[in-house]
Amino acid sequence: MRTKKPGYDENITFNLERVINGKAYVYVNGWAFINNEETNKGDSVLFFLDSEKDTYVGRTTIFHRPDLTKYFKKVYLDDAGLMDYFYR
């Protein structure tokens, strides 16, 4: 799949709460959302892993984080939680 990789200047708030860099995989757990959006209902979060010669992209599994909606005072960020394993 060809896709435009977001740049570091994008308006995204995120936090990776846990990252495990295993021998055969990378595990990530955290949350992310676009700042200028009031809701993330139905959004997807893609995760990019870069090396010197390869770029991997994968869709994360979304899980509920209702604490983010309250903390950031948005309409709906309950689907901002993310986690997944990316196999090398």
pLDDT tens digits, residue range 5-54?
544 456 888 898 999 999 999 999 999 998 888 998 988 888 887 778 88
In which band, very low, low, confident or very high, does the pLDDT at 3 lie, cut at 50, 70 and 90?
very low
Residues 83/25, Cβ–Cβ less than 8 Å: no
User: Residue 68 pLDDT > 60, yes or no?
Assistant: yes
Residue 1 lies in a domain: no
User: Three-state SS string across 23-49, please?
Assistant: CCEEEEEEEEEECCCCECCCCCCEEEE
Residue 2 lies in a domain: no
The model's pTM: 0.79
Give the count of domains, the chain: 1
Residue 82 lies in a domain: yes
Q: What is the pLDDT of residue 55?
A: 82
Residue 5 lies in a domain: no
Virtual CA dihedral for 77, 79, 84, 88, nearest 10 degrees?
-70
